[in-house]
Structure 1
Amino acid sequence: MRNLIPIPESQMAARPRDPDEPIIIKKYANRRLYNTDSSSYITLETLAQMTRDNQEFQVVDAKSGDDITHQVLTQIIMDSESSGEQLLPVSFLRQLISLYGNSMQALVPSYLDASMKSFCDNQEKLRDSFGKGLSENPFAKMAQHNMKMFADGWRAVLAPGQQASPKGKDSDDLAELRAQMAAMQDKLDKLDK
């Protein structure tokens, strides 16, 4: 989110909102949130939905005009985590807490921001791949091929007498593999004694 500066209250009501500017949300001392764009009171859940809908907003303290967007977004995360929708693993939270006051603290926000953008980009690419279907997805083709090879290999190793004997080089390779496995089993048996 870009750095936003508080907008004086006199300017908020005096001009129509530019669609490229964030929606201004005022937070009052009684913890109520007021959407200046829709002229209505809203909840933290409304702000969470606005975030999911990629709507830019800035939360300002109604009395001081200070930007408190960070605190309110953190509160949304806290409420979500405490209501059973746990997204952040304990190990991550511990690591994050340990970085406060650390010499690396200044680097963490930009690193986390870049990581999250990369994650979202990859998520979008994955959705596109699934949207095109498995037939066009090279990863799905590779997975199907690998699963077939895996299944065929195990069938050959586990049930050699139940299939027709392969011919040629494959037969020699399989026989060599079986001999190596038998030799390893003999060595293991001798180690147990």
Structure 2
Amino acid sequence: MSKSKNAKPDIIIKKYANRRLYDTSTSQYVTLDHLRELVKQDLHFQVIDAKSGEDLTHGVLAQIIFEEESRGANLLPVDFLRQLIGFYGDSLQSVVPGYLQMSMNNFTQQQEEYRTKVGEAMMSPQATMALIEEQTRRNMEAFGKTMRMFTPFVAGAEAHEAAAPAAPKDGEDDLTKMRAELDEMRNKLDQVLKAQK
């Protein structure tokens, strides 16, 4: 969507204990289908618990996705869902939301180009696979660049360590743990890239 995560919502939806949703902008009760249409119209809304004021937007959006999937609009492949579930509790869990957001932002920015290509690809299964592979490659390249921005010291530090091992310093255990986690992330990324080829 075009609005940022921190943008002020246009519409406040109150969710009551009986699970009913109330659109304060129109002063009427609404359904999840209504909220789905708001999303499609790129209208930013926030769902809050009517009693506690807690933000329930994330759960309600996930519920909309679940309903769409249960109706047979299978946008999320089973393997993707399994992989996503596998990241819960994993050391990479904190990286996944940013990666998915970046991928969707890239896809959204290039959607007109993709609509044209998808229209052409419908004529050929090979063209469809080529389009998917191209998008996956772009996503992985962008993710790799992002990871390097957050870890620019690692490559230089590894070269320096190989040249001259030094005595342990204060806090070095933490640095060693961070490097091990980064190595683990790199290995997992390499496995994903190999699996995509």
Alignment equivalent of 1:92, drawn from 76, 80, 86: 80
Alignment equivalent of 2:29, drawn from 23, 32, 41: 41
Return the alpha-carbon distance in structure 1 between the equivalents of residues 96 and 16 of structure 2: 31
Moved more, 54-63 or 120-129: 120-129
Q: Is 1:2 aligned to residue 5 of structure 2?
A: yes
Secondary structure of the corresponding residue to residue 64 of structure 1 = coil
Alignment equivalent of 1:24, drawn from 3, 6, 12: 12
Return the alpha-carbon distance in structure 2 between the equivalents of residues 24 and 84 of structure 1: 29
Deviation at 1:122, TM superposition (A): 1.7
Return the alpha-carbon distance in structure 2 between the equivalents of residues 23 and 128 of structure 1: 33
Q: Relative to 1, partners in 2 of residues 1:116 and 1:64: Cα closer, same or farther, differing over 3 Å?
A: same
Q: Which residue of 2 aligns with 1:74?
A: 62
| TM-score for the superposition, normalised by structure 2 | 0.55
Cα offsets for 1:58-79 (capped at 9, x unmatched)? 0000010000000000000111
Q: Which residue of 2 aligns with 1:169?
A: none
Q: Relative to 1, partners in 2 of residues 1:114 and 1:36: Cα closer, same or farther, differing over 3 Å?
A: same
Q: Which residue of 2 aligns with 1:101?
A: 89
Secondary structure of the corresponding residue to residue 125 of structure 1 = helix
Pairwise CA RMSD of aligned residues? 2.4
Q: Percent identity?
A: 54
Return the alpha-carbon distance in structure 2 between the equivalents of residues 127 and 80 of structure 1: 21
Deviation at 1:21, TM superposition (A): 3.7
Unaligned runs of 5+ in 2: 121-126, 128-197
Cα offsets for 1:58-111 (capped at 9, x unmatched)? 000001000000000000011111111111000000000000000000011111
Secondary structure of the corresponding residue to residue 101 of structure 2 = helix
Q: Which runs of 4+ in 1 moved over 6 A?
A: none
Alignment equivalent of 2:104, drawn from 85, 100, 116: 116
Return the alpha-carbon distance in structure 1 between the equivalents of residues 114 and 77 of structure 2: 23
Cα offsets for 1:22-72 (capped at 9, x unmatched)? 310000011110000111111000000100110000000001000000000
Return the alpha-carbon distance in structure 2 between the equivalents of residues 76 and 35 of structure 1: 16
Q: Which residue of 1 aligns with 2:52?
A: 64
Counterpart contact for 2:48–2:55, Cα < 8 Å: yes
| TM-score for the superposition, normalised by structure 1 | 0.56
Alignment: residue pair count? 118
Secondary structure of the corresponding residue to residue 106 of structure 1 = coil
